[in-house]
Protein backbone atom coordinates (compact mmCIF):
# COMPACT_ATOMS: atom_id res chain seq x y z
CA UNK A 1 0.00 0.00 0.00
CA UNK A 2 1.37 3.44 -0.97
CA UNK A 3 2.29 5.97 1.71
CA UNK A 4 -0.60 8.22 0.66
CA UNK A 5 -3.11 5.37 1.04
CA UNK A 6 -1.66 4.44 4.43
CA UNK A 7 -2.10 7.99 5.73
CA UNK A 8 -5.63 8.20 4.33
CA UNK A 9 -6.56 4.94 6.05
CA UNK A 10 -5.01 6.25 9.28
CA UNK A 11 -7.53 9.11 9.50
CA UNK A 12 -10.52 7.16 8.15
CA UNK A 13 -13.24 4.96 9.67
CA UNK A 14 -13.08 6.53 13.14
CA UNK A 15 -15.92 6.76 15.69
CA UNK A 16 -14.92 9.66 17.96
CA UNK A 17 -15.15 9.85 21.71
CA UNK A 18 -17.81 10.56 24.33
CA UNK A 19 -19.60 13.88 24.76
CA UNK A 20 -18.27 14.01 28.31
CA UNK A 21 -14.62 13.82 27.27
CA UNK A 22 -15.02 16.64 24.74
CA UNK A 23 -16.88 18.73 27.29
CA UNK A 24 -14.39 18.13 30.09
CA UNK A 25 -11.47 18.93 27.79
CA UNK A 26 -12.86 22.45 27.47
CA UNK A 27 -11.67 23.21 31.01
CA UNK A 28 -7.99 23.10 30.10
CA UNK A 29 -7.68 26.38 28.15
CA UNK A 30 -9.48 28.54 30.79
CA UNK A 31 -7.36 27.03 33.58
CA UNK A 32 -4.18 27.74 31.60
CA UNK A 33 -5.38 31.30 31.02
CA UNK A 34 -5.82 31.80 34.77
CA UNK A 35 -2.39 30.30 35.45
CA UNK A 36 -0.74 32.76 33.09
CA UNK A 37 -2.44 35.66 34.90
CA UNK A 38 -1.54 34.36 38.36
CA UNK A 39 2.14 34.00 37.45
CA UNK A 40 2.18 37.65 36.36
CA UNK A 41 0.39 38.64 39.59
CA UNK A 42 2.89 36.78 41.77
CA UNK A 43 5.80 38.30 39.87
CA UNK A 44 4.28 41.76 40.26
CA UNK A 45 3.76 41.27 44.00
CA UNK A 46 7.36 40.07 44.39
CA UNK A 47 9.07 42.65 42.17
CA UNK A 48 6.53 45.48 42.08
CA UNK A 49 6.84 45.84 38.32
CA UNK A 50 5.70 44.53 34.97
CA UNK A 51 6.44 43.61 32.19
CA UNK A 52 8.96 40.82 32.69
CA UNK A 53 12.67 41.29 31.95
CA UNK A 54 13.48 40.94 28.22
CA UNK A 55 9.77 41.47 27.56
CA UNK A 56 9.66 40.53 23.85
CA UNK A 57 11.15 37.11 24.52
CA UNK A 58 9.96 36.33 28.04
CA UNK A 59 6.29 37.14 27.43
CA UNK A 60 6.22 35.09 24.24
CA UNK A 61 7.85 32.11 25.97
CA UNK A 62 5.55 32.49 28.97
CA UNK A 63 2.43 32.53 26.81
CA UNK A 64 3.69 29.67 24.65
CA UNK A 65 4.58 27.56 27.70
CA UNK A 66 1.31 28.19 29.54
CA UNK A 67 -1.22 28.54 26.72
CA UNK A 68 0.06 26.45 23.80
CA UNK A 69 2.27 23.75 25.33
CA UNK A 70 -0.52 22.32 27.56
CA UNK A 71 -2.87 22.12 24.57
CA UNK A 72 -0.29 20.19 22.56
CA UNK A 73 0.39 17.79 25.43
CA UNK A 74 -3.32 17.33 26.12
CA UNK A 75 -3.90 15.79 22.69
CA UNK A 76 -0.71 13.72 22.68
CA UNK A 77 1.18 12.17 25.59
CA UNK A 78 -1.15 13.46 28.33
CA UNK A 79 -4.45 12.58 26.64
CA UNK A 80 -5.01 9.51 28.84
CA UNK A 81 -4.45 11.43 32.08
CA UNK A 82 -6.10 14.70 31.05
CA UNK A 83 -8.66 14.46 33.85
CA UNK A 84 -5.94 14.31 36.50
CA UNK A 85 -3.99 17.13 34.84
CA UNK A 86 -6.99 19.47 34.80
CA UNK A 87 -7.92 18.64 38.40
CA UNK A 88 -4.36 19.31 39.59
CA UNK A 89 -4.11 22.58 37.68
CA UNK A 90 -7.50 23.69 38.98
CA UNK A 91 -6.48 22.90 42.55
CA UNK A 92 -3.23 24.84 42.10
CA UNK A 93 -5.14 27.81 40.67
CA UNK A 94 -7.55 27.75 43.60
CA UNK A 95 -4.62 27.80 46.05
CA UNK A 96 -3.01 30.77 44.34
CA UNK A 97 -6.34 32.61 44.22
CA UNK A 98 -6.81 32.01 47.95
CA UNK A 99 -3.32 33.41 48.57
CA UNK A 100 -4.07 36.51 46.51
CA UNK A 101 -7.38 37.01 48.31
CA UNK A 102 -5.78 36.55 51.73
CA UNK A 103 -3.08 39.11 51.07
CA UNK A 104 -5.74 41.47 49.72
CA UNK A 105 -8.01 41.05 52.74
CA UNK A 106 -5.10 41.55 55.14
CA UNK A 107 -4.09 44.81 53.49
CA UNK A 108 -7.65 46.13 53.34
CA UNK A 109 -9.79 47.47 56.16
CA UNK A 110 -12.92 46.14 54.45
CA UNK A 111 -14.57 42.83 55.23
CA UNK A 112 -14.29 40.11 52.56
CA UNK A 113 -18.02 40.34 51.89
CA UNK A 114 -17.71 44.07 51.27
CA UNK A 115 -14.77 43.56 48.91
CA UNK A 116 -16.78 41.06 46.87
CA UNK A 117 -19.80 43.37 46.91
CA UNK A 118 -17.68 46.28 45.68
CA UNK A 119 -16.27 44.07 42.94
CA UNK A 120 -19.75 43.22 41.68
CA UNK A 121 -20.65 46.92 41.55
CA UNK A 122 -17.44 47.94 39.76
CA UNK A 123 -17.68 49.59 36.37
CA UNK A 124 -15.68 47.92 33.62
CA UNK A 125 -14.48 48.78 30.15
CA UNK A 126 -13.84 46.33 27.34
CA UNK A 127 -10.74 46.13 25.17
CA UNK A 128 -12.39 43.55 22.92
CA UNK A 129 -15.81 42.00 22.71
CA UNK A 130 -16.16 40.21 26.06
CA UNK A 131 -14.94 36.60 25.93
CA UNK A 132 -15.40 36.42 22.14
CA UNK A 133 -11.75 37.17 21.39
CA UNK A 134 -10.61 34.42 23.75
CA UNK A 135 -13.04 31.94 22.21
CA UNK A 136 -11.98 32.71 18.64
CA UNK A 137 -8.27 32.61 19.44
CA UNK A 138 -8.38 29.29 21.30
CA UNK A 139 -10.52 27.69 18.59
CA UNK A 140 -7.94 28.84 16.04
CA UNK A 141 -5.00 27.60 18.12
CA UNK A 142 -6.62 24.22 18.81
CA UNK A 143 -7.42 23.86 15.12
CA UNK A 144 -3.82 24.64 14.18
CA UNK A 145 -2.57 21.96 16.58
CA UNK A 146 -5.08 19.32 15.51
CA UNK A 147 -4.65 19.56 11.73
CA UNK A 148 -1.03 18.43 12.05
CA UNK A 149 -1.28 16.32 15.21
CA UNK A 150 -3.91 14.07 13.61
CA UNK A 151 -1.25 12.72 11.22
CA UNK A 152 0.87 11.41 14.13
CA UNK A 153 0.20 8.12 15.88
CA UNK A 154 0.56 9.84 19.27
CA UNK A 155 -2.69 11.73 18.56
CA UNK A 156 -5.59 9.66 19.96
CA UNK A 157 -7.76 8.32 17.15
CA UNK A 158 -10.86 9.07 19.22
CA UNK A 159 -10.07 12.80 18.90
CA UNK A 160 -9.99 12.76 15.09
CA UNK A 161 -12.92 13.44 12.77
CA UNK A 162 -15.49 10.68 12.68
CA UNK A 163 -16.39 8.79 9.53
CA UNK A 164 -20.19 8.82 9.78
CA UNK A 165 -21.52 9.28 13.32
CA UNK A 166 -19.82 10.31 16.55
CA UNK A 167 -18.32 13.23 18.44
CA UNK A 168 -14.61 13.69 17.86
CA UNK A 169 -12.73 16.71 19.18
CA UNK A 170 -11.93 17.75 15.61
CA UNK A 171 -15.61 17.45 14.69
CA UNK A 172 -16.38 20.11 17.27
CA UNK A 173 -13.51 22.22 15.95
CA UNK A 174 -15.21 22.51 12.56
CA UNK A 175 -18.52 23.67 14.03
CA UNK A 176 -16.79 25.97 16.50
CA UNK A 177 -14.81 27.64 13.70
CA UNK A 178 -18.03 28.54 11.86
CA UNK A 179 -19.64 29.66 15.13
CA UNK A 180 -16.62 31.83 15.96
CA UNK A 181 -16.77 33.60 12.60
CA UNK A 182 -20.47 34.33 13.11
CA UNK A 183 -19.84 35.95 16.51
CA UNK A 184 -17.97 38.85 14.87
CA UNK A 185 -19.95 39.04 11.63
CA UNK A 186 -21.32 42.41 10.47
CA UNK A 187 -24.81 41.25 11.41
CA UNK A 188 -23.72 40.38 14.96
CA UNK A 189 -22.02 43.78 15.23
CA UNK A 190 -25.30 45.44 14.21
CA UNK A 191 -23.78 47.14 11.20
CA UNK A 192 -26.50 48.67 9.07
CA UNK A 193 -26.81 47.79 5.41
CA UNK A 194 -25.54 50.71 3.33
CA UNK A 195 -26.98 51.22 -0.12
CA UNK A 196 -29.33 48.76 -1.77
CA UNK A 197 -29.70 45.20 -0.57
CA UNK A 198 -28.30 43.95 -3.87
CA UNK A 199 -25.14 46.03 -3.50
CA UNK A 200 -24.73 44.71 0.06
CA UNK A 201 -24.97 41.13 -1.18
CA UNK A 202 -22.43 41.93 -3.90
CA UNK A 203 -20.02 43.27 -1.27
CA UNK A 204 -20.43 40.11 0.79
CA UNK A 205 -19.64 37.97 -2.24
CA UNK A 206 -16.56 40.06 -2.98
CA UNK A 207 -15.41 39.86 0.65
CA UNK A 208 -15.03 36.06 0.55
CA UNK A 209 -12.63 35.98 -2.38
CA UNK A 210 -9.66 35.28 -0.05
CA UNK A 211 -11.40 32.12 1.22
CA UNK A 212 -12.20 31.01 -2.32
CA UNK A 213 -8.61 31.70 -3.38
CA UNK A 214 -7.30 29.71 -0.41
CA UNK A 215 -9.67 26.87 -1.23
CA UNK A 216 -8.52 26.78 -4.85
CA UNK A 217 -4.89 26.97 -3.74
CA UNK A 218 -5.37 24.06 -1.36
CA UNK A 219 -7.16 22.02 -4.03
CA UNK A 220 -4.44 22.58 -6.64
CA UNK A 221 -1.59 21.93 -4.21
CA UNK A 222 -3.15 18.68 -2.96
CA UNK A 223 -3.75 17.34 -6.47
CA UNK A 224 -0.28 18.35 -7.70
CA UNK A 225 1.66 17.00 -4.71
CA UNK A 226 -0.40 13.87 -4.12
CA UNK A 227 -0.98 14.92 -0.51
CA UNK A 228 -3.24 12.51 1.38
CA UNK A 229 -6.87 13.54 1.81
CA UNK A 230 -9.86 12.14 3.65
CA UNK A 231 -12.47 12.21 0.87
CA UNK A 232 -15.49 11.64 3.12
CA UNK A 233 -14.79 14.90 5.00
CA UNK A 234 -15.94 17.19 2.19
CA UNK A 235 -15.48 15.34 -1.08
CA UNK A 236 -12.91 15.08 -3.86
CA UNK A 237 -12.73 18.75 -4.89
CA UNK A 238 -14.25 20.43 -1.85
CA UNK A 239 -12.55 21.70 1.31
CA UNK A 240 -13.34 23.73 4.41
CA UNK A 241 -12.35 27.04 2.81
CA UNK A 242 -15.13 26.66 0.24
CA UNK A 243 -17.60 25.82 3.01
CA UNK A 244 -16.63 28.93 4.99
CA UNK A 245 -17.02 31.17 1.94
CA UNK A 246 -20.39 29.82 0.84
CA UNK A 247 -21.81 29.77 4.37
CA UNK A 248 -20.78 33.40 4.84
CA UNK A 249 -22.48 34.49 1.60
CA UNK A 250 -25.68 32.46 2.11
CA UNK A 251 -26.08 33.65 5.70
CA UNK A 252 -25.54 37.28 4.64
CA UNK A 253 -28.17 36.92 1.93
CA UNK A 254 -30.65 35.45 4.40
CA UNK A 255 -30.00 38.16 6.99
CA UNK A 256 -30.61 40.89 4.42
CA UNK A 257 -34.25 39.83 4.13
CA UNK A 258 -34.72 38.27 7.59
CA UNK A 259 -34.39 39.98 10.98
CA UNK A 260 -31.04 39.20 12.59
CA UNK A 261 -32.66 39.30 16.01
CA UNK A 262 -34.62 36.15 15.12
CA UNK A 263 -31.72 34.30 13.52
CA UNK A 264 -31.91 31.51 16.13
CA UNK A 265 -35.39 30.69 14.85
CA UNK A 266 -34.21 30.46 11.25
CA UNK A 267 -31.23 28.37 12.37
CA UNK A 268 -33.63 25.91 13.97
CA UNK A 269 -35.89 25.97 10.90
CA UNK A 270 -33.06 25.31 8.44
CA UNK A 271 -31.47 22.54 10.49
CA UNK A 272 -34.92 21.04 11.16
CA UNK A 273 -35.77 20.97 7.44
CA UNK A 274 -32.36 19.46 6.68
CA UNK A 275 -32.97 16.74 9.27
CA UNK A 276 -36.46 16.13 7.86
CA UNK A 277 -34.94 15.62 4.42
CA UNK A 278 -32.39 13.18 5.88
CA UNK A 279 -35.14 11.17 7.56
CA UNK A 280 -37.77 11.13 4.80
CA UNK A 281 -35.74 10.96 1.58
CA UNK A 282 -32.78 9.02 0.21
CA UNK A 283 -30.42 11.87 1.16
CA UNK A 284 -28.99 10.09 4.22
CA UNK A 285 -28.23 6.93 2.25
CA UNK A 286 -26.73 9.04 -0.53
CA UNK A 287 -24.39 10.85 1.88
CA UNK A 288 -23.32 7.87 3.98
CA UNK A 289 -22.35 5.50 1.17
CA UNK A 290 -19.03 6.16 -0.55
CA UNK A 291 -19.95 5.17 -4.09
CA UNK A 292 -20.38 6.70 -7.56
CA UNK A 293 -17.75 9.36 -6.73
CA UNK A 294 -16.82 9.72 -10.40
CA UNK A 295 -20.37 10.13 -11.67
CA UNK A 296 -20.57 13.94 -11.49
CA UNK A 297 -19.55 16.95 -9.39
CA UNK A 298 -22.39 16.48 -6.89
CA UNK A 299 -21.55 12.84 -6.26
CA UNK A 300 -17.86 13.70 -5.94
CA UNK A 301 -18.45 16.42 -3.35
CA UNK A 302 -21.75 15.44 -1.74
CA UNK A 303 -20.55 15.87 1.87
CA UNK A 304 -19.30 19.39 1.27
CA UNK A 305 -22.38 20.46 -0.68
CA UNK A 306 -25.16 19.04 1.49
CA UNK A 307 -23.54 19.83 4.83
CA UNK A 308 -23.77 23.56 4.02
CA UNK A 309 -27.33 23.67 5.41
CA UNK A 310 -26.10 22.59 8.83
CA UNK A 311 -23.21 25.04 8.83
CA UNK A 312 -25.50 27.91 7.81
CA UNK A 313 -27.69 27.00 10.80
CA UNK A 314 -24.63 27.09 13.10
CA UNK A 315 -23.63 30.45 11.63
CA UNK A 316 -27.09 31.93 12.21
CA UNK A 317 -27.07 30.67 15.80
CA UNK A 318 -23.67 32.32 16.23
CA UNK A 319 -25.06 35.62 14.95
CA UNK A 320 -27.83 35.44 17.55
CA UNK A 321 -25.31 34.83 20.35
CA UNK A 322 -23.10 37.60 18.99
CA UNK A 323 -25.99 40.06 19.12
CA UNK A 324 -26.55 39.19 22.77
CA UNK A 325 -22.91 39.17 23.86
CA UNK A 326 -22.13 42.51 22.21
CA UNK A 327 -24.77 44.43 24.13
CA UNK A 328 -23.38 47.23 26.28
CA UNK A 329 -22.61 46.17 29.85
CA UNK A 330 -20.99 48.48 32.36
CA UNK A 331 -20.79 46.53 35.62
CA UNK A 332 -19.29 43.23 36.71
CA UNK A 333 -22.65 41.90 37.84
CA UNK A 334 -24.06 42.46 34.34
CA UNK A 335 -21.23 40.39 32.88
CA UNK A 336 -21.93 37.62 35.38
CA UNK A 337 -25.58 37.64 34.34
CA UNK A 338 -24.46 37.22 30.74
CA UNK A 339 -22.29 34.26 31.74
CA UNK A 340 -25.23 32.69 33.56
CA UNK A 341 -27.40 33.11 30.45
CA UNK A 342 -24.76 31.52 28.21
CA UNK A 343 -24.40 28.62 30.65
CA UNK A 344 -28.16 28.15 30.77
CA UNK A 345 -28.30 28.21 26.97
CA UNK A 346 -25.62 25.53 26.85
CA UNK A 347 -27.49 23.38 29.37
CA UNK A 348 -30.76 23.65 27.44
CA UNK A 349 -28.96 22.88 24.18
CA UNK A 350 -27.43 19.75 25.69
CA UNK A 351 -30.88 18.66 26.86
CA UNK A 352 -32.18 19.14 23.31
CA UNK A 353 -29.19 17.18 21.99
CA UNK A 354 -29.90 14.18 24.20
CA UNK A 355 -33.52 14.26 23.07
CA UNK A 356 -32.52 14.41 19.39
CA UNK A 357 -30.03 11.56 19.73
CA UNK A 358 -32.64 9.44 21.49
CA UNK A 359 -35.48 10.14 19.07
CA UNK A 360 -33.60 10.53 15.78
CA UNK A 361 -29.94 9.76 15.24
CA UNK A 362 -26.48 10.47 16.71
CA UNK A 363 -24.30 13.45 15.85
CA UNK A 364 -22.94 13.36 12.30
CA UNK A 365 -20.46 15.94 11.07
CA UNK A 366 -20.52 14.27 7.67
CA UNK A 367 -24.16 15.23 7.07
CA UNK A 368 -24.17 18.21 9.48
CA UNK A 369 -27.47 16.93 10.86
CA UNK A 370 -29.63 18.57 13.52
CA UNK A 371 -27.80 16.86 16.45
CA UNK A 372 -24.47 18.11 15.07
CA UNK A 373 -25.80 21.68 14.87
CA UNK A 374 -27.17 21.55 18.42
CA UNK A 375 -23.97 19.95 19.75
CA UNK A 376 -21.77 22.59 18.08
CA UNK A 377 -23.84 25.39 19.61
CA UNK A 378 -24.07 23.74 23.06
CA UNK A 379 -20.35 23.02 23.26
CA UNK A 380 -19.44 26.50 21.95
CA UNK A 381 -21.64 28.17 24.57
CA UNK A 382 -20.11 26.00 27.28
CA UNK A 383 -16.57 26.83 26.18
CA UNK A 384 -17.40 30.54 26.00
CA UNK A 385 -18.87 30.39 29.51
CA UNK A 386 -15.69 28.82 30.88
CA UNK A 387 -13.49 31.40 29.17
CA UNK A 388 -15.74 34.15 30.48
CA UNK A 389 -15.52 32.78 33.99
CA UNK A 390 -11.72 32.68 33.67
CA UNK A 391 -11.75 36.29 32.52
CA UNK A 392 -13.84 37.28 35.56
CA UNK A 393 -11.36 35.51 37.87
CA UNK A 394 -8.53 37.43 36.21
CA UNK A 395 -10.46 40.68 36.58
CA UNK A 396 -10.99 39.99 40.30
CA UNK A 397 -7.26 39.24 40.63
CA UNK A 398 -6.50 42.61 39.05
CA UNK A 399 -8.40 44.40 41.77
CA UNK A 400 -7.29 42.19 44.64
CA UNK A 401 -3.60 42.36 43.78
CA UNK A 402 -3.53 45.96 42.49
CA UNK A 403 -1.93 44.53 39.34
CA UNK A 404 -4.47 46.13 37.07
CA UNK A 405 -2.78 45.63 33.73
CA UNK A 406 -3.02 41.87 33.36
CA UNK A 407 -3.95 40.86 29.81
CA UNK A 408 -7.71 40.25 29.63
CA UNK A 409 -10.68 41.39 27.58
CA UNK A 410 -11.86 43.81 30.28
CA UNK A 411 -10.49 46.11 32.95
CA UNK A 412 -11.82 48.42 35.64
CA UNK A 413 -13.08 51.75 34.35
CA UNK A 414 -10.59 54.42 35.31
CA UNK A 415 -9.85 57.96 34.26
CA UNK A 416 -7.55 58.27 31.28
CA UNK A 417 -4.00 58.86 32.38
CA UNK A 418 -0.53 58.72 30.96
CA UNK A 419 1.03 57.50 34.20
CA UNK A 420 3.81 54.88 34.23
CA UNK A 421 1.26 52.32 35.43
CA UNK A 422 -1.06 52.90 32.48
CA UNK A 423 1.86 52.81 30.06
CA UNK A 424 2.98 49.50 31.60
CA UNK A 425 -0.53 48.15 31.16
CA UNK A 426 -0.56 49.02 27.47
CA UNK A 427 2.88 47.45 27.07
CA UNK A 428 1.87 44.18 28.73
CA UNK A 429 -1.30 43.99 26.63
CA UNK A 430 0.80 44.52 23.51
CA UNK A 431 3.09 41.61 24.45
CA UNK A 432 0.20 39.14 24.74
CA UNK A 433 0.21 36.18 22.33
CA UNK A 434 -3.60 36.09 22.40
CA UNK A 435 -3.69 39.63 21.04
CA UNK A 436 -1.17 38.65 18.37
CA UNK A 437 -3.29 35.75 17.10
CA UNK A 438 -6.45 37.84 17.34
CA UNK A 439 -4.90 40.56 15.18
CA UNK A 440 -4.20 38.23 12.22
CA UNK A 441 -6.45 35.21 12.67
CA UNK A 442 -6.80 34.35 8.98
CA UNK A 443 -3.03 34.62 8.51
CA UNK A 444 -2.49 32.30 11.49
CA UNK A 445 -4.95 29.78 10.06
CA UNK A 446 -3.39 29.97 6.59
CA UNK A 447 0.15 29.69 7.97
CA UNK A 448 -0.88 26.63 9.98
CA UNK A 449 -2.23 24.94 6.85
CA UNK A 450 0.94 25.70 4.89
CA UNK A 451 3.18 24.51 7.73
CA UNK A 452 1.10 21.33 8.06
CA UNK A 453 1.71 20.48 4.41
CA UNK A 454 5.40 21.33 4.67
CA UNK A 455 5.83 19.20 7.80
CA UNK A 456 4.14 16.21 6.18
CA UNK A 457 6.42 16.61 3.18
CA UNK A 458 9.63 16.28 5.23
CA UNK A 459 8.54 14.06 8.15
CA UNK A 460 7.16 10.52 8.04
CA UNK A 461 4.52 11.26 10.66
CA UNK A 462 3.29 7.67 11.09
CA UNK A 463 6.68 6.24 12.03
CA UNK A 464 7.64 8.95 14.54
CA UNK A 465 8.03 8.10 18.21
CA UNK A 466 5.80 9.84 20.74
CA UNK A 467 8.58 12.10 22.03
CA UNK A 468 9.74 13.09 18.55
CA UNK A 469 6.14 13.73 17.48
CA UNK A 470 5.64 16.12 20.39
CA UNK A 471 8.89 17.91 19.54
CA UNK A 472 7.77 18.35 15.92
CA UNK A 473 4.37 19.67 17.00
CA UNK A 474 5.90 22.11 19.47
CA UNK A 475 8.40 23.34 16.86
CA UNK A 476 5.58 23.76 14.34
CA UNK A 477 3.46 25.75 16.79
CA UNK A 478 6.44 27.83 17.91
CA UNK A 479 7.11 28.88 14.32
CA UNK A 480 3.44 29.76 13.79
CA UNK A 481 3.29 31.76 17.02
CA UNK A 482 6.62 33.48 16.41
CA UNK A 483 5.59 34.71 12.96
CA UNK A 484 2.25 36.01 14.17
CA UNK A 485 3.88 37.54 17.26
CA UNK A 486 6.44 39.45 15.17
CA UNK A 487 3.64 40.81 12.97
CA UNK A 488 1.83 41.97 16.10
CA UNK A 489 4.87 43.64 17.66
CA UNK A 490 5.50 45.43 14.37
CA UNK A 491 1.81 46.48 14.38
CA UNK A 492 1.19 44.80 11.03
CA UNK A 493 -2.38 43.75 10.31
CA UNK A 494 -2.65 41.73 7.10
CA UNK A 495 -5.78 42.62 5.16
CA UNK A 496 -6.91 40.71 2.10
CA UNK A 497 -9.61 43.20 1.08
pTM for this prediction: 0.92
* Interatomic CA distance for residues 337 and 344, integer angstroms: 10
- Burial (CB count <10 Å: 0-12, 13-18, 19+), residue 366: buried
- Widest Cα–Cα separation across the chain: 78
Contacts of 357 (CB under 8 A, 6+ apart): 363, 371
| 200-251: pLDDT as tens digits | 778 778 888 888 888 898 888 888 777 777 788 888 889 999 999 999 999 9
pLDDT score at 333:
85
**Terminal alpha carbon distance of the chain:** 44
| 98-135: pLDDT as tens digits | 888 887 766 665 566 776 777 777 777 666 666 789 99
Give the residues across from 170 on adjacent strands.
none
Supply φ then ψ for residue 3, to 5 degrees.
-60, -40
Give the residues across from 412 on adjacent strands.
124
The DSSP line for 387-404 is HHHHHHHHHHHHHHHS-T
| 312-357: pLDDT as tens digits | 999 999 999 999 998 887 788 888 899 999 999 999 999 999 999 9
Answer yes or no: are the C-beta atoms of 257 and 322 closer than 8 Å.
no
Q: Give the SS3 label for residue 287.
A: helix
* Interatomic CA distance for residues 78 and 437, integer angstroms: 25
Amino acid sequence: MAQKEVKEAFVSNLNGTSLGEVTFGSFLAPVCLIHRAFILVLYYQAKGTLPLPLPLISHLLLDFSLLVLPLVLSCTILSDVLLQVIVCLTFLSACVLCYICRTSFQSSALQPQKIVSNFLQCSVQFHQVPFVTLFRVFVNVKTAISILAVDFSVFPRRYAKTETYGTGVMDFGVGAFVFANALVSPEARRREVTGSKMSHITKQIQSVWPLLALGLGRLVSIKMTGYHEHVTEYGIHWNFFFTLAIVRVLASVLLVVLPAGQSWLFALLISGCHQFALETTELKTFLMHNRDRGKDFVHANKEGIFSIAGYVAIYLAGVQIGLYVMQQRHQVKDCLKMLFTLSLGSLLSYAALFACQTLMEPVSRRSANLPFVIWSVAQSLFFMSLLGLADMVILFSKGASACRFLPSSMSFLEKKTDSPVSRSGVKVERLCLIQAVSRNQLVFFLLSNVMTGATNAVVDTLSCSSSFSVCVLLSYMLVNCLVIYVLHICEITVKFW
